[in-house]
Amino acid sequence: MDGTKIGTPVIVLNVKSYAESAGRRGFELAKICEDVASKQGVNIAICPQQVELAKIASAVNIPCFAQHVDAVEPGSHTGFVTLESVKEAGATGTLVNHSEHRLKIADIDFIVKRSSSLNLLTIVCTNNIAVSRAVAELRPYAIAIEPPELIGSGKAVSKVDPEIVANTVEEVKKLHKDCIVLCGAGVTNGEDVRRAIELGTDGVLLASGVVKAKDPKTALLDLVTGL
């Protein structure tokens, strides 16, 4: 699903490199997202494991994002992922600069510009307000604020650090008013999502609350109640 935008409010599920999201299980998670999105009439996007991106993007009717790309043009590089290959795989865009896979600001600039010429959407993760401001200057499609210390904690940023969320929304929109702003880290239920939206975000970015849940579909159904 290539495109120029995604519907909001949105839940973006980054399945990371968990054993629970590899291979067949990753494919099932994507199918659950598609099913919940269509039956509940809500926006859900997924970032499959990189090696599953093409397979999943061709099998589901929801936006699929790469978890990372490298700031390189197609050519003589080994083990790198280009925006062009992500586009060929059928992705809507890419997540970049996750706290678990940071990039230099010059690389983010390269990726944002090249994404835009390829009609791909870039969601740039940031770890604090100063970095969010710097990234907003690059005019990405979306910014996802995620305090690293809350990632995987089960303590939702929207509940335990509402200031960073509200201030990021305010600062980013001052510099780039059309920028989608997401928040993530520790988001696990519908109440966490509802609070994120109340703080002015366009949705959430999350991982373990669904991927590590005993029943990912039930977890996702709870999360979408907050949209």
90 scored as a contact of ligand G3P (CB under 6 A): no
DSSP string, 142-207: EEEE--GGGTTSS--HHHH-HHHHHHHHHHHHHH-TT-EEEEESS--SHHHHHHHHHTT-SEEEES
Interface residue with ligand G3P, options 45, 66, 145, 205 (CB under 6 A): 205
Interface residue with ligand G3P, options 121, 187, 220, 223 (CB under 6 A): 187
**Which of 186, 203 has the CB closer to ligand G3P?**
186
146 catalytic residue (yes or no): yes
Interface residue with ligand G3P, options 82, 94, 201, 208 (CB under 6 A): 208
Stretch that binds ligand G3P, among 24-32, 33-41, 55-63, 184-192 (CB under 6 A): 184-192
Stretch that binds ligand G3P, among 69-77, 104-112, 168-176, 199-207 (CB under 6 A): 199-207
DSSP state of 51: G
48 scored as a contact of ligand G3P (CB under 6 A): no
146 scored as a contact of ligand G3P (CB under 6 A): yes
98 catalytic residue (yes or no): yes
Residue sitting closest to ligand G3P (CB): 208
Q: Which long-range contacts (CB under 8 A, 24 or more apart) does 154-157 make?
A: 154/186, 154/188, 154/208, 154/209, 155/186, 156/185, 156/186, 156/187, 156/188, 156/189, 156/192, 156/195, 156/196, 157/183, 157/184, 157/185, 157/186, 157/187, 157/196
In the set 146, 149, 163, 198, the catalytic residue is: 146
Q: How far apart are CA 56 and CA 48, in angstroms?
A: 7
Contacting positions for ligand G3P (CB under 6 A): 14, 98, 146, 151-152, 184-187, 205-209
